[in-house]
Structure 1
C-alpha cells in the first residue's frame, strides 16, 4: 500500500508545531503541496523552513492568520481560494474548572475550535464537490466522548467537531468528498509537553516519565499506557486524507491509545 498525494493541495490549520506540523510533514512526504498556517508570521516562516529541510522537494506555502475570527478565516481563504484536502487542526485546550470558566472563554474556545472549521469547510467544500474529490478532516479528541471534568469547555467543542464532521459527511453524500473526525488521546504535542513540564521539574522526571504518569492517573483506561507521539496521530490523518480511504466517511476515528472504553 502506497499513499500518493501528488498533485493534491492540502491546507493544515494550526500547523506550525505539534500534531498539525506532523500532519503537514506527513502530507508533504506523500507528495502533496501543503499550506502551513499559524497566527504569527515568524512561526509560519520557521515551519516552512523546517519542512523544506525535512521533506526534500516539498511544495510548502504559508499563511499567517488568526482563525479565531471571521476576518482571519477570510484572510486564509483569500490567500488560498481552493484546496483538495482541508485539515481543521487549529485548537485551544487547557484545564479550567467549570465554575471559573466565564462566557468569554467559552466563546473563544468555540470560535477557534469549532467556527474555524465551519467557516473553512463552507468555503472549500463546494470546490471539492465540483471537482468530484476532496477530504476534510477535523481534529477532535477522545475528550469529545470522554469529557474531562477539568476541561468541560474543551470537551464540548470537541464533541461539536465530531458532530459537525458527521453532518457534513451526510451533506456531501455521493460527491466523492469525504469528511471525518480524528480523535487523538493524550499526545506529546508542544502544548501537552509544556503542561507537563512543571510536574516533571518538581518531581525530577523527564517529560516522557511525566507523560506516562499523567496517562496512568488521569486516563487510566488507556491501553497503551502512555501518550502517543504526534507522528502516530499524523499517520492516521495522512491515510484518511488519501484516495485509499475512499469508503471512510462520517467516521469518528480513534487514535486515542484505547482511552475511550467502548468497542464501537
Structure 2
C-alpha cells in the first residue's frame, strides 16, 4: 500500500530507541526522509545508520528552547515537515508520597512540554501550508491510571487534552492532530526493567512477565508485551489516514476495558 510518503519529511522526536526508533524505521521504509533527535551523538549516529540512508539525526534537547529551534531548523533544511511524531517520554516506578515537586516538574517538562515546544513552530507552518499531521505518543496509562506511576499517568493524560485542543485548531483544514496509545511494549528500556526484577528475585524473565500480566495487567487480552514494530506500522497509518483527526488510537493489547 502506498502511503504517499516518498520524499516527505517526517520528524520523530526521541527516535533513536524504543517505539520512536520503530516508528522512524517504518516511515523510512515507506520512502520518507526521517529526522530524529537525541542528546547522545554516538547513539544517534548508530540509530540513523540502522534506520537507513534517508535517516538524519541531530543532537537537540527539546527541554530547551535552543534545542527545539535546532531540531526545527535542521528538519526544515530537508523540506517542510509533513509529519511530526511527538515521542519523547520517560517512565519510572515511584511511590506517590516520595515524588517531589521537582520530579513532577521534570516529568511535565519531558513528557508534555517537549511536545508543546516543537509542535508550536511545526503546526504553525502546517496550518500556513494547509497540510500536515501531528501525532502524540501517549500510553494506555493515560486512561488506565497506574498508581505506582502516577506522574507518568498524569502527564500522559495531559497529552490527550493537548492533542484534542490542537486538533480543534485545524477545523476545516488539511492538517490533523491525533494521539496514539501503546500498551506495555517490548522496548529495550522495558525489557531492562523486567530483567532487573528477574535478577533481584532470582527467577527467569518469563516468570516475571507471567506474574506481571497475572497481577498487574490481568485485564490485558493479549497477555504479552507488544512488538515495537507493530506500533511503527500503526503510527504510519494514523499519520496518513485523512479521516482521522482529534482521535485517540488505542494499541493497548485490550488492557483498557472499553468499546471506544
TM over 0.5: yes
Deviation at 1:3, TM superposition (A): 2.5
Q: Which residue of 1 aligns with 2:146?
A: 148
CA contact (8 A) 2:9 2:75 kept: no
Q: Which residue of 1 aligns with 2:133?
A: 135
Identify if the C-alpha distance between structure 1 residues 107 and 178 changes in structure 2 by more than 3 Å, giving closer, same or farther: same
Q: Which residue of 2 aligns with 1:261?
A: 257
CA contact (8 A) 2:138 2:179 kept: yes
Q: Secondary structure at the match of 1:84?
A: strand
Q: Which residue of 1 aligns with 2:19?
A: 19
CA separation in 2, counterparts of 1:238 and 1:44?
21
CA separation in 2, counterparts of 1:213 and 1:239?
33
CA contact (8 A) 2:138 2:156 kept: yes
CA separation in 2, counterparts of 1:194 and 1:10?
29
Cα shift readout 1:191-224 (whole Å, capped 9, x = no counterpart): 1111101223334313x55334323321111011
CA contact (8 A) 1:83 1:124 kept: yes
CA separation in 2, counterparts of 1:29 and 1:178?
22
Q: Which residue of 2 aligns with 1:249?
A: 245
Normalising by structure 1, report the TM-score: 0.93
Alignment of 1:72-83 (within 5 A): 72-81=67-76, 82-83=80-81
Q: Which residue of 1 aligns with 2:109?
A: 111
Deviation at 1:34, TM superposition (A): 0.2
Residues paired across the two proteins, number: 256
CA separation in 2, counterparts of 1:226 and 1:220?
11
Deviation at 1:233, TM superposition (A): 1.3
Normalising by structure 2, report the TM-score: 0.94
Q: Which residue of 1 aligns with 2:5?
A: 5
CA contact (8 A) 1:186 1:215 kept: no
User: Out of 68, 71, 89, which is 1:91 matched to?
Assistant: 89
Pairwise CA RMSD of aligned residues? 1.4
CA separation in 1, counterparts of 2:148 and 2:66?
31
Q: Does 1:101 align with 2:87?
A: no
CA separation in 2, counterparts of 1:76 and 1:16?
14
Q: Which residue of 2 aligns with 1:63?
A: 58
Q: Secondary structure at the match of 2:257?
A: coil
CA separation in 1, counterparts of 2:70 and 2:12?
15
Alignment of 1:35-54 (within 5 A): 35-52=35-52
Identify if the C-alpha distance between structure 1 residues 209 and 24 changes in structure 2 by more than 3 Å, giving closer, same or farther: farther
CA contact (8 A) 1:40 1:65 kept: no
CA contact (8 A) 2:62 2:117 kept: no
Alignment of 1:210-221 (within 5 A): 210-221=208-219
Cα shift readout 1:116-151 (whole Å, capped 9, x = no counterpart): 111111110121122221110000000001110001
CA contact (8 A) 2:11 2:85 kept: yes
Q: Secondary structure at the match of 2:5?
A: coil
CA contact (8 A) 1:113 1:157 kept: yes
Deviation at 1:65, TM superposition (A): 1.3
Cα shift readout 1:86-126 (whole Å, capped 9, x = no counterpart): 00001011111111000111111101110111111111012
Any unmatched runs of 5+ in structure 2? none
Q: Secondary structure at the match of 1:241?
A: helix
